Amino acid sequence: MTADIHDIADQRPHLTVTADDGVHVLPCDLVCSVIAGDKLSAILTEPVLRRIIKEWFQRVTA
């Protein structure tokens, strides 16, 4: 298995998302850009999107 690893130390704060395909660290600015429509949601992988939606759904239905 190979992965692209990027140093995002200067891109804080960030989120850690544990998805089916591994752990992803996403800058909060990136997620906010997707929410605002400035970036396409396709920039996030399908497993990451599923995990974000799953956690959101659990919170709103609790």
Tens digit of pLDDT at every position of the chain (62 positions)? 577 777 777 778 989 999 999 999 999 999 999 999 999 999 999 999 999 999 999 999 98
Residue pair 27/14 in contact (Cβ under 8 Å)? The answer is yes
User: What is the spatial distance between Cα 24 and Cα 49, in angstroms, rounded to a whole number?
Assistant: 11
Contact predicate 17/46, CB 8 Å: no
Question: What size, in residues, is the chain?
Answer: 62
Q: pTM above the 0.85 mark?
A: no
Residues 6+ apart with CB under 8 A from 58: none
